[in-house]
Amino acid sequence: MRHFLRDDDLSPAEQAEVLALAAAMKEKPFEQQPFAGPRTVAMIFDKPTLRTQASFAAGIAELGGHPLLVEGKLAGIGHRESVADVARVLGRQASAIVWRTYEQSRIDEMAAYAGVPVVNALTDEFHPCQLLADLLTVQEHKGALAGLKVAFLGDAACNMGNSWALAGAIAGMEVTFGCPDGFAPAYGSSTVTDDPVAAVAGADAVVTDTWISMGKEEEADARRATFAPYSVTSDLMGHAKPDAIVLHCLPAYRGSEISADVLDGPQSVVWDEAENRRHAQKAILAWLEAQRHD
């Protein structure tokens, strides 16, 4: 049984295979329907969501399946009943489980007991589905991934920083993190600098994320001050390659981690990126399902 709990659950060859499947599914959205029947895929959200819920629900429907929304707060996973018991119950109803939650250890436990593939729809540590969408978007705009220079600016000590460190390396990209001391990714072995200009120099793609991840709201003021020099502005973009693209997983806070003119400008690919969540997630669900029958 394969799961997708963190970016390095896929080897380089498997990551490329999933991205190729995503591109094919984008071109012909209804050709492959591994969940036709219909079968059910459970989605659980312990944290806020817009893109993830919408793109999984639409994608599961396009795969011929039925998306079952389980309210994280109502289910009370880990206190009303244990993660292991929830996993055993949902694994008897659904063909796969998609979960957005807090600690990675929770989704690891879900995977250990579910008996069906489990997909990480964001944890404190990783956001691997977003990375598949990001890589698909870069591939579409740049033609290939290996050898490209990526600069990630701002709070790299979060799920997006960790996932870029792992998935970028798996794709053969050179990822440089421009972040204050103490805010480097905790995973992977990437280049880190506290100089935002050095980070973006010659970059093919510039990536940022909110400075105030879900759960960090109480630190908002301190964080705005800490990360201010790492805002992706048109001045900073002047140091990247002239044809560099800009990615942001959204939600975006214009005037904080990114300026409005960059987010809404010609280098921004954020709406493609948001759309590509659906294609990328369809591909990982279909790929995991195929592994069960191999």
Output the known binding site.
Answer: 100, 127-130, 159, 209, 213-214, 249-250, 277
Known binding-site residues for L-ornithine equal 159, 209, 213-214
Q: Of 80, 149, 90, which is closest to residue 119 (Cα–Cα)? A: 90
Give the count of beta carbons closer than 10 Å to the beta carbon of residue 193: 15
Q: Are 196 and 178 in contact (CB under 8 A)?
A: yes
23: which DSSP letter? H
Binding mask 101-130 vs ligand NVA (x if CB under 6 A, - otherwise)?
--------------------------x---
Task: Select the residue interacting with ligand NVA from 249, 274, 285, 288 (CB under 6 A).
Answer: 249
Quick check: is 261 catalytic? no
Quick check: is 249 catalytic? yes
Q: Are 171 and 135 in contact (CB under 8 A)?
A: yes
Q: Which of 106, 248, 277, 278 is an active site residue? A: 277
Q: Work out the burial of residue 142: count CB atoms within 10 Å of its CB; fewer than 13 is exposed, 13-18 middle, 19 or more buried.
A: middle
Give the count of beta carbons closer than 10 Å to the beta carbon of residue 211: 24
Binding mask 187-216 vs ligand NVA (x if CB under 6 A, - otherwise)?
----------------------xx--xx--
Q: Which of 2, 6, 51, 100 is an active site residue? A: 100
Determine, following the binding rule CB under 6 A, whether residue 160 of this chain makes contact with ligand NVA.
Answer: yes
Three-state DSSP class for residue 22: helix
Binding mask 48-87 vs ligand NVA (x if CB under 6 A, - otherwise)?
----------------------------------------
Task: Select the residue interacting with ligand NVA from 158, 184, 263, 286 (CB under 6 A).
Answer: 158
Residue among 19 and 249 whose Cβ is closer to ligand NVA: 249
Q: Which of 51, 204, 249, 278 is an active site residue? A: 249
SS3 content of the chain, % helix, strand, coil (to 5): 45, 15, 40
Q: How far apart are CA 153 and CA 233, in angstroms?
A: 11
Quick check: is 92 catalytic? no
Residue among 139 and 208 whose Cβ is closer to ligand NVA: 208
Distances (CA, A) of 101 to 49, 95, 250: 11, 19, 18
- Catalytic center residues: 100, 127, 130, 209, 249, 277
Which residues would be at the binding site for ligand NVA (CB under 6 A)?
127, 158-160, 209-210, 213-214, 249
